[in-house]
Each structure stands twice: as C-alpha cells, then as structure tokens.
Amino acid sequence: MNKDRLEKWKFLAEKELKDKSIDSLNWETPEDINIKPLYTENDLKNLNHLNELPGLDNYSRGPRATMYAGRPWTLRQYAGFSTAEESNAFYRKNLKSGQKGISVAFDLPTHRGYDSDHPRVLGDVGKAGVAIDSVEDMKILFSNIPLDKMSVSMTMNGAVIPIMANFIVAAEEQGVNRSNLTGTIQNDILKEFMVRNTYIYPPDSSMRIVADIIQYTSKEMPKFNSISISGYHMHEAGANLVQELAFTLADGKEYVKAALSKGLDIDAFAGRLSFFFAIGMNFFMEVAKLRAARILWSRIMKEFNPKKSNSSLLRVHCQTSGVSLQEEDPYNNIVRTSYEALAATLGGTQSLHTNAFDEAMGLPTEFSSRIARNTQLIMQEELGITKVIDPLAGSYYVENLTHQLTEKAWELIQEIENLGGMTEAVSAGIPKSRIEESAAKKQAAIDQGLEVIVGVNKYKPHQKEKVEILNVDNISVRNTQIDRLNHIKATRDNKICQKKLKDLEDICRTGSGNILESAVEAAKHRATLGEISASIENVFGRYKANSKTLSGVYKNAYENDEGFLKINKKVEFFEQKEGRRPRILVIKLGQDGHDRGAKVIATAFADIGFDVDVGPLFQTPEEAAQDAIDNDVHIIGISSQAAAHKTLVPILIDSLKKLNGEEIVVVCGGVIPREDYDFLKKIGVKAIFGPGTNILDAANDLIDILLKK
C-alpha cells in the first residue's frame, strides 16, 4: 500500500476518534496476539504459508481440491441417552430428517469401564449418553441402521477396547464385515489426562491400547478412522486457541510415534487419522485456527517422511462450543451456535455437529435438536457458501491471524517436544496446569465484564425464559440394563467366556498379541464391557489423578477491585468471629470428570480467602460426606454437569446426617435444570448456582449464609 495513502487514512481515522490514537483500538487476545483495527496488504508480506490452491501442501485452503463445491461437509449430530432402544429411535428419526452420519454419546459408566450394575455408578446410568454394557446393547443401538452404508463416530477413550469390540461383533452379527465399516473412534486418551478425565488406565498402558487399535484397524478395517485427536475438550476446559492447537497436534505426533513403534509403515495408517476441534465465539480467530491446524500437521508429518500426500492431510470434525452456551436468556444460544457453525465451515471443516440451545440446562429435546440440525441444513442449502472454494482466502486479517497462530502454536509444540513428548508432559501435569490457568483468567474476565456475554453479564433479560427440558429416569434405565446383564450372564457359555477373558489378561501381561483382537473374541462370547475392562485393569491398574489448585490468578485479576476487597473483609470478619477461615470442600460426585467449573471455583475461592479442599474425582456420596467430616468443613460445594444430582445429592445429605454433619452447608452449581431447584432445596441444599453465575456473587452469598447461621 502507498505510504502516503496510509498516513492520510490514519489522519482521517484519528480525527474521527477525536482525542484518541488509532493504536488505542488495538486488542490483546488471550493468546497474547495483538489485534489491530486495520489490516492491509502489508500484513501479508513475508507470510510463508500463503497457498494459491486448496488440496495442495500446505493445505491451508483445505484438504480437498474442490472442498464444499464438490461435496458439502458431513452433517452430524452427537447424541445418545437413556437406553439403546431410545437412542436408536432418535438416530433413525434424525437420519430421515437429513442427518448424514451418526455420532454416539455414551454414558459415563460406559466411558469409565463399568457395567450398569456396578455400585459406583448409581446416579450415572443413561445420563449424558447411552448405556452400553454388551454386544446385545450395541446391536439394539444400530438396529435397522445399515452399518455398511452409514458412517458412525464414537466418542470413546477410556473403555475404547470393549466398545470397539462390541461394535465390530454387533456389525458382523448383523451381516456387515468389519472391513466395510466406516466412521471414527476417538481413541484419544492423552487429552483425558489433561481435561476430560474419563480415563481408566495409566498413561503408558493407555498408549499401548491406542497403538493396538491403530494396528488392528489398519489391517482389518481400512475404511475406519482409528483415532480422532481432540482439541474440543481442551477448548471447553478453558484452553486458549494456541494451547488447543499445540496440545492437540502434539498429541497427534505422540500417537504417530506409538503406531510406528508397532512396526507399522507411516502410510499404512496416517491417512486414517482425524482431528476434532471446538469452535468458539472469536469468529475470525476460529477460522484461522483450522487453517493453522492444517499447516502445522503438514509440517509435523514431514518429519516422518510419508510417501503418500494423503498421510499429511489434516481432516477435521468440528463441534460448536458447549461452554459458550448459557442458561440465562437461552435463545441467544441459537445465534451463538449459528455463528460458530459458520466459522467452522469457513475454516474448512469436513464434518460438523451443532449444539442444541438448551444444553446449558440439560439434555437436548427433539425440538432443540431439530433447530440445531436445521442450522446446518440452512447453511448448506440457503447461504451459498458451498458454491465457492475457501471464500476467505487472501483476507489480510485472516491470513495474518493464521500466521500468528501457526507460529505461536509451533513454539509450544517444540517446547513439548523438548520435554520428551506429550506423554511425558501429561505425566508431569504441565498441559493441565496451563489450561486451568487460562480457564481461571477467562472466568475472571467474564466476572469483571471485560468479556461480554449478552444476557449474562450485560443486557440481562427482565424475566426468565421457561424452556422444556428432557429428563431421563435414571433408576428405570439402570434397572433395564441390570435385567439385560443378568440375562446375558445366565444364557452365555460362561466357561468359554471366562477363558477368553483370561486370554485377554495374558496378552496385556505379556505384551504379545493385540489387545483389541483378543477383546473381540471375548465380546463374541458375551463378555460384558465391565468384564473386559476389568481384565485389562487387572494388569494395568486403574489410574488416580492428584488434584492440585492454582493460586493467585483470580486475585491478580481483581487487584484493588472494590467488590473483591469487600468480600475479603467479610471473610476476615468470619475468621475473627469463628477463630478460623471459612472452609469449603469442592467435589464432583459419580463418574462425571468434567472438572473445569470445580477447578475455577476452587482457585477463585482460595484467592478470595476461603480455605479450600478439592475432593478426588469419581467419589461416591458416602466418600464425599466422610471427607467433609474429616476436613471439618463449613460448606460442601457440588459441581454437577452430568445430571446425576437428583440421585446422588440426597444420598450425600443423608450420609452427612448419619455422620452428625447436619450443620455443614450443602450447595450445588453447574448444569442443573431450574425444574430441579425446588427438589434440591426441599432436601436441604442451601443455594444453587447455574451456568454464568458470577463467582464473586456466589462467594458473597456463601459467606452471608455462614454469617447468618
């Protein structure tokens, strides 16, 4: 651009801004990227990623030459709830309405390798996903769905071996050879140790499972994607976009190395690797993120010298952000999801799931799911964005963002590599702590109003919208599953079944043979998901994480803030009155491992002045009650996301009474439908904090409750 013209523009702009400099409009992102108000051709100079054509290295413009002009992205909806029968009916109805692929959500007991009759999963069966205990459940799940024609994506990492085994056997008993199965298994265990926590076995043993699945599928299931490397859950846990990119792709590199350690040729499996990203509300940054991901993966794969270009392609499924959904003014979520979906498609995703607007309150209803699905159909059929290949290519802003994200993520990838790779970094807890710090900073910015969320911290509605919520009868579902389990165990050849389970255990112990191959044999003879998982656990053990709390992040963000200092004074007054600071135990009950909310609360309350204990994940109500008594706490704060509160919270309160702990204040927070508030308050819950609650307000309410006692 002509320098004189640029100076003239700057003069006019600053005149419009009156007393401000144009530089005052600059914005610093959470990724420490400085965003200017104007981008010109000068911002494209020296960018080495610019690519004239899609489908060619470095793939910034997309992995396929014709992109959506040749074929639109695959429309998926991630769903699963209650029993296999109900989920199957839901899938078939959606397929008739235009959905192109199935994405299965499993319940938490299934994720954690427990059958539905296990005593630790009382409140979780059929909640937040479908319960799958055996081949028989899997056959019902896909009844009248042609698995040789339908692509199936399964979000499973912890109990990935029995789920894959049951899927393969169910398909073959329906007449579909495993070699004809298409779809994706997530099989991304490293991110579980960072954020989502639905792991079972320790990291090293889990990596062996990942490698065995890649080995088995590359030979037996050539059309099936052996792994979906996920940044989605990192994003939802609070990672900034540089962290999401770097940690996800570093995970991918680690999986490639694990597969190579099995003696596989890079070109035998790399073409079946896929990725999974969340799409949030920073529109252009999200577009640039997907472009940067393709550039970075191509760069990483060059280190392994693949012969086929397909081995260097990053193919990606995207899902709109769940954490951006809000309970307050919930119909705003339809707008949020639409913009996020548009960012995903302009970034070049290969398939897409759009969240339903009511998922901040509970499971999606048929009504909300239809809106989410139609959002994509409208984009494909009405917007015209499928007519042109990569319409944002060459944008001064988008290309510059792509470059900055690429280079910042590459620096972090190299840092991980210098630590010995992602398995070592995860074992040391480094990615987890950085993501938690990022999440705390983001929450502080929201609570201060620096990051606006319409309807939550600005432009609040005058009245609450009443939204229909889907309820699952957890007890009924569990009883159904137990009856089916009992029937399977009574009618199978138990001697052969136990022999196959022993063979599986021996393969895990000796290191010879393929774990998935052996599990398929066990599943054929009706070994249950819990039995297969237990056989592996007998050798590998069950992993237990150490809970750590950050400090200082929230306090630094609120330095000299009047509201923050006021609550500090209340805490000090309580300490003078009671002789000690208010003490809170922050817990998760059942098998829900989503601990972002719990960790943010623990960090913030510690900075405010509370003594904070964080309970271990996956506690029973009885264990949590005993912890509260042992730690002599004033408050138990229950973080709930997976809808088990109606079953587990009453048990906790009864357990406290049995331990003479009635004086302990019980409060709940998280994704709790308002229809459940009265029930919880009647059984003794003193306060309920839904999504979007300001943490300072919550702390103020709790200290007031204690002072009034």
At residue 544, the pLDDT reads 87
* Residue 396 annotated to the active site: no
Whether 592 is a known active-site residue: answer: yes
DSSP SS3 for 227: strand
Judge whether 594 counts as a catalytic residue.
yes
CA torsion 248-253-258-259 (nearest 10°) is 110
Set 59, 78, 216, 255: catalytic member: 78
Please give the mean pLDDT across all residues of the chain: 92
Q: What are the C-alpha distances in Å from 148 to residues 80, 105, 177, 225?
A: 21, 20, 8, 15
Instruction: Give the range with max mean pLDDT: 6-20, 58-72, 582-596.
Output: 58-72
Residue with tokens 């109805």: 93
Q: In this structure, are residues 221 and 214 in contact, taking their beta carbons and an 8 Å threshold? A: no
Task: Provide the pLDDT for residue 311.
Answer: 95
- Indicate the burial class of 174 (C-beta count within 10 angstroms; 0-12, 13-18, 19 or more): middle
Most confident of 146-155, 457-466, 516-525, 548-557: 516-525
Integer Cα distance of 423 and 655 in angstroms: 39
Q: Which of 613, 527, 609 is nearest to 575 (CA)?
A: 609
Check: CB of residue 482 under 8 Å from CB of residue 117.
yes
CA distance 231 to 347: 15
In 419-525, where does DSSP find H-type helix? Answer: 422-427, 430-447, 474-491, 494-510, 515-524
Is 588 annotated as catalytic?
Answer: yes
Alpha-carbon Rg for the chain in angstroms: 26
**Whole-structure pTM value:** 0.88
In this structure, what DSSP letter does residue 253 have? Answer: H
User: Residues 276-313: pLDDT tens digits?
Assistant: 999 999 999 999 999 999 999 999 999 999 999 999 99
The SS3 assignment for 425 reads: helix
Of 115, 329, 390, 592, catalytic: 592
The encoded tokens of residue 614 equal 């964080």
Q: What is the pLDDT of residues 81-113, one digit of tens each?
A: 678 898 898 888 878 877 667 889 899 999 999
Quick check: 24 and 16 in contact, CB under 8 A?
A: no
- Among residues 588, 599, 645, 646, which one is catalytic? 588
Give pLDDT, residue 79: 61
- Written as six digits, the tokens of 437 are 């710090």
Q: How confident is the model at residue 150 (pLDDT cuts 50, 70, 90)?
A: confident
Higher pLDDT pick, 274 / 644: 274
Both tokens of 539, joined, read 């050798």
In the predicted model, is pLDDT for residue 537 greater than 80?
yes
**What's the CA gap between 129 and 132, in Å, rounded?**
9
Chain segment 388-406, per-residue pLDDT in tens: 999 999 999 999 999 999 9
β-sheet bridge partners, residue 104: 79, 154
DSSP 428-440: TTHHHHHHHHHHH
Name the active-site residue from 91, 201, 216, 232.
232
Catalytic choice (127, 594, 645, 646): 594
> If pLDDT is split at 50, 70 and 90, which confidence band does 642 have?
low
Check residue 541 and give its pLDDT: 96
Out of 233, 253, 317, 432, which one is annotated catalytic?
233
